[in-house]
Structure 1
Amino acid sequence: MNSLEPITELIESEVPDDVSIARVTYEGPELIVYTDTPRKFAENDHLIRQLANEVKKRITVRPAPGTQTDPSTAKPVILDLLPEEAGVTNLGFYPATGEVLIEAEKPGLVIGRRASTLREISQKVGWTPEVFRTPPMESSTVANVRNFLLQERDERREFLEGVGERIHRERTHETEWVRVTTLGCCREVGRASFILSTPETRILVDCGDKPGAEGEVPYLQAPEANPIAALDAVVLTHAHLDHSALLPLLFKYGYDGPVYLTQPTRDLMGLLQLDYLDVAAKEGRTPPYGSEMVREELRHTITVDYGDVTDIAPDVKLTFANAGHVLGSAVTHFHIGDGFHNVVFSGDIHYEDTRLFNGASNDFPRAETLVMESTYGGRDDYQTDQRDSEEKLFELISETHEAGGKVVIPAFAVGRSQELMLVLEEAMSEGAIPTMPVYLDGMIREATAIHTAYPHFLRDELRQRILHEDDNPFLAEQFQQVDGGHDMRERIARDGEQCVILSTSGMVTGGPIMSWLELLGGEPENALMFVGYQAQGTLGRRIQSGRREIPFESRGRRNNELTLRLSVASVSGFSGHADRAGLEEFVRTMSPRPERILCVHGDESSTDQLSSGLYQDLHVRTHAPRNLETYRFD
């Protein structure tokens, strides 16, 4: 019997006689019910919830083609139902799926109390509304990703139905074991990648590059990863390139399955990967894939919200929880078999609240095995309290301002830049530092615009400020985009105005930060301030460690070396990673506490010391794996 037949029969037996079921299908993990009577469904707001409880699936109801009001008639009816202050910016009708997509500045006013306005729209016109937020800062990435996925809607529906069939296929194997194979990021930072496998299923978790080490990629040639085309799923914990950069390569190798991630991770991933290709081209390197593979990857994405339990294979359920690291980052929980084993991948985490995010979540129904990041896992890796760090930063900025200099801060476009923007905006508004321009160079403004599109992923207080107090700190007037290329950088460098410059790349591995070093590095009144992790092998780490003669390529220079005379300082406390105390506390307070921990994503001393410390303090079995090791859990 087809797996949908019993579900269809159950749904048909539960709905009232005046409700007609045209078709039931899976689209990825979601159950879609097409109906010839969409208005009747909308009138009974308890019916969908009742059916979802019966079939134990999330259900979306859509009108069967031809049952909706004509779009030209439906549009004014919908707009009349919506309050003007909702700020509707776009309305699109998609007859193949029976959906009307509504983009608005204030989606909550479109949705209404307990989704009452959405139900009213369905009752009046028969279309199923889906609501998106219009970013308060214009974002080409958000617009391009949304438009691309809308254009591909019919093709994606066919893809999703195929994924649904694979997820809900009949099991052919008993769940007798679970294995985790390390393809990268063991005793090193970067090229995060793992295979999670059962007798039934193989899932790839992350697929990143290694900062400052061209050519060091995950061991995708390992037997456990092959054939890549036959993987059941790919799961991405967050968008940073050391976790996502090489994911499009999978599609070059024939993978045609789903990529599970959060909505913000999807948009940021596309932004960072396209920049990755652009930087490679500018540096004369041949990238491992082209932009068409990024589009192919986006076409295969399935977004999952925090807390939603989602079937991704016949024997695996996925749940994301907030990781507190960057926008959309997720601690990833896999429930395997019928309670056989539970594996949690921390991804990158920040355990304490920051200005930008709530701290990482560590509360799960069950968790036998934890794969744990160890970036700051060394016994001496204790970061300064953020408030103390901010005061040190303010002192350094004020000193540089008084000396007539400019402050250059290498910053990751995603995460640290937005955290610093919040810190600087508040400091200037309260007089802790002089008010001055803050220039955003590289992808920082675009990444910030993506943050404004997803305020529900931000810290509670910041979300309240943006959504309900109409006070968006990212729109402060001192933030100015460097959009004139090198000419604008030269003008900023030449004028006598003090300023702060936030520039990518965060580890000084290329990008506009190199221009700022050339333009400002020779003047002792200027300052270079590191606020983020500098991986081994990167130029940032060498400068941080005291090197002042650095390799430099420039057409206008007679030699390939640059002498830095500006002051150099490091301010800890702004990292998106938990320090040693935060990592220990994440495990200590984890509910339930895992039985086994694999310490990964840190250099050799960090993984060894964190593994040893957790074993001694918490009496948990711990390991510091090497790459290409496999751990079996029975």
Structure 2
Amino acid sequence: MRFRNLTRRREIGANSYLLEAGDHRVVLDSGMHPKMAGYGAMPDFGPLPHKSANAVLITHAHHDHIGSLPVLQRKQPNTPVLMTEITGELSSAMLHNSVNVMTKQREEESITEYPLFTHRELDEIRAQWIYRDIDRPFEIPDTNLEATMFDAGHILGSTGVLIREGSNTLFYTGDVNFEAQTICRAADFPTSGIDVMITETTRGDYARPEGFSRKNEKERLAGVIRDTHEAGGAVMIPVFALGKTQEVMMMLHELHEEGLIPEMPLYIGGLSTKITVLYDHYASRSRRSYPGFRLLDDMKMLVPRKGRKRQEIISSPRTLYALSSGMMTEHTVSNTFAQKFLDNPRNTVCFVGYTDPESPGYKIRNATPGTKIKLAKDLPAVELRARVESFDLSAHASREQIAEYIEKVKPKKLLLVHGEEPAQMWFTRRFNETIPGTEIIRPEPHQPIELW
């Protein structure tokens, strides 16, 4: 068994990895780089000959894990794509939205190769998608490999994948969370009998403060919402449409039910609504908290969208806005909304997840009051007068939680992926001390690595 990293650089980006066992080839994930555009945002599929893959395994439906899947399937036209049913349905919604975004970028930013695929092509490639249940072993078609998917606790439908070849085993974590969120329960991963592990390292350069608890973070968020409500302001929570929106919605419902926040109207965006429809569809058929609870029907505070036409969301006092994107990327709903929101000192922006250092969201959460911030190239700078608060409600496991899991498993080989250089180095230093018998590898792009 040989491993190749198909990403173009060693960082968080277009996740995709190739396993080669004799003549058999299996691809793990097929993402797009969130900060890049065009074909340069894709993995480099060079080491994977046309029509040679036996299967593609998808761990979850975030863009950096599925964004290039239609292009990969064009190169591997008859290859089955294996994932959970929830991941498949969410992936379809996210990829159709991606076509719309790329079409707009072609017009506005003159990216001539966009869109990289079409709505029609997406409908056609779904014929190759095969759904598998978690915790049930299955054969990877036309190979001597067996796979089992385990709940990763990251977003609904997310999995880690165990692959077995004879007596040898490999486990790929995908994106993982080892603590329960509001909807998603904690990951349920195997802890023994793993020879090789491929793990994400997203939060390796972030140390949680002493005494941290998710409960305290939620109560601190409630306090900020109460303060803003009393001041006659509004609260904006930048969120990702898939996963974070639904977690925040459920959390706000909890806080209201517990009497920690007053009843306030809650607005979400169009893509977030489409994804929430799917979360509600699987409310009783997935491993989650609040089984049967339907966010769009059962949340008292939610303001339902009127019709399918896109409407501009206008800021009103004493109102909650959970708007995507979470990093406030140019021309997303949260980005354009902020243009008329940030200059009001009664308002508050609450960040609840990761923001890339180059994103508008990062600029806002690290700016001093009164700073002029340019949210998009074609928009005038806006003065930051709103209150800004940050909360650690990440959907990724902390570095300590990942480290403790790996130290329990003690694999013979450990491959560190999906993380920046400082993050990977933190894990390397720790494991050199705690599990000296494990070979630590940080795979370079295309570097062939013998696993067994």
Q: Secondary structure at the match of 2:41?
A: coil
Q: Deviations over 1:417-467 (max 9, x none)?
A: 11111111011122101111111113222212211222356555422xx2x
Distance 1:219 1:461, change over 3 A: closer
In the other structure, the counterpart of 1:565 is: 385
Corresponding position of 2:200 = 373
Residue 327 (structure 1) aligned with residue 143 (structure 2): no
Indicate the larger mover: 476-485 or 252-261. Answer: 476-485
Total equivalences in the alignment: 436
SS in 1 for 2:260: coil
Q: Please, which runs of 5 or more residues in structure 1 have no aligned partner?
A: 1-177
Mapped to 2, the partners of 1:295 and 1:301 lie a distance apart of 11
Q: Which amino acid aligns with 2:450?
A: R
What residue number does 2:397 align with?
578
- In 1, Cα distance between the equivalents of 2:206 and 2:264? 39
Q: Which amino acid aligns with 1:288?
A: L
> What is the match of residue 41 of structure 2?
217
Is the counterpart of residue 435 in structure 1 residue 263 in structure 2? yes
- Tell me how far 1:489 sits from its aligned partner: 1.4
The aligned residue for residue 520 of structure 1 is 341
**Aligned pair 1:315/2:315, yes or no?**
no
Whether 1:529 and 2:350 are equivalent positions in the alignment is yes
Q: Is the 8 A contact 1:408 1:516 kept in 2?
A: no
Contact 2:8 2:43 in 1 (8 A): no
Q: Unpaired runs of 5+ in structure 2?
A: none
Q: Are positions 1:402 and 2:230 aligned together? A: yes
Which secondary structure does the structure 2 equivalent of 1:408 belong to? strand
Tell me, in whole angstroms, the C-alpha distance in 1 between the residues paired with 2:147 and 2:196. Answer: 15
Which of 75, 78, 91 is the aligned partner of 1:256? 78
> Counterpart of 2:134 in 1: which secondary structure?
coil
User: Which structure has the larger Rg?
Assistant: 1
- Aligned with 1:544 (options 361, 365, 375): 365
Q: Distance in 2 between matches of 1:182 and 1:199?
A: 18
Instruction: Encode CA deviations 1:151-172: one digit per residue, 9 max, x unaligned.
Output: xxxxxxxxxxxxxxxxxxxxxx
Question: After superposition, where does 1:60-79 map in structure 2 within 5 Å?
Answer: none
Q: Secondary structure of the residue that 1:213 maps to in structure 2? A: coil
Relative distance call for 1:451 and 1:478 in structure 2 (3 A) is same
One of 426, 439, 443 as aligned partner of 1:625? 443
Q: Relative to 1, partners in 2 of residues 1:278 and 1:581: Cα closer, same or farther, differing over 3 Å? A: same
Query: Is structure 2 residue 128 aligned with structure 1 residue 300?
Result: yes
Q: Structure 1 219/486 Cα, relative in aligned 2: closer, same or farther at 3 Å?
A: closer
Could you tell me how far apart the structure 1 residues matched to 2:189 and 2:248 are? 26
**Offset, 1:529:** 1.3
The amino acid of 1:563's aligned partner reads: E
Residue in 2 that maps onto 1:17: none
Paired residue type of 2:359:
T
Which of 382, 391, 415 in structure 2 is aligned with 1:598? 415
Q: Which amino acid aligns with 2:20?
A: S
Give the TM-score of the pair, scaled to structure 2. 0.90
Alignment of 1:138-157 (within 5 A): none
One-letter amino acid of the counterpart of residue 372, structure 1: T
2:25 corresponds to 1:202:
yes
Q: How does 1:9-408 map to 2 (within 5 A)?
A: 178-184=1-7, 187-215=10-38, 216-223=40-47, 225-227=48-50, 229-283=51-105, 284=107, 285=111, 286-312=114-140, 313-336=142-165, 338-339=166-167, 341-363=168-190, 366-378=193-205, 380=207, 384-408=212-236
* Partner secondary structure for residue 268 of structure 1: helix
Indicate the percent of aligned positions where both proteins have the same amino acid.
25
- Is the Cα contact below 8 Å between 1:252 and 1:289 reproduced in 2? no
Contact residue 437 and residue 478 of structure 1 kept, 8 A: yes
Change (3 A) 1:503 1:603: same
The CA deviation at 1:501 is 0.4
Compute the displacement of 1:551 (Å).
Answer: 4.0
Structure number with higher helix proportion: 1
Change (3 A) 1:458 1:569: farther
Distance (whole Å) between structure 2 residues aligned to residue 587 and residue 397 of structure 1 = 38
Could you tell me the TM-score, scaled by structure 1's length? 0.65
Q: Is the 8 Å Cα contact of residues 13 and 418 (structure 2) preserved in structure 1?
A: yes
Comparing 479-488 with 448-457, which one deviates more in the overlay? 479-488
What residue number does 2:319 align with? 499
Change (3 A) 1:481 1:301: same
Q: Residue 507 of structure 1 contacts residue 535 of structure 1 at CA under 8 Å; is this kept in 2?
A: yes
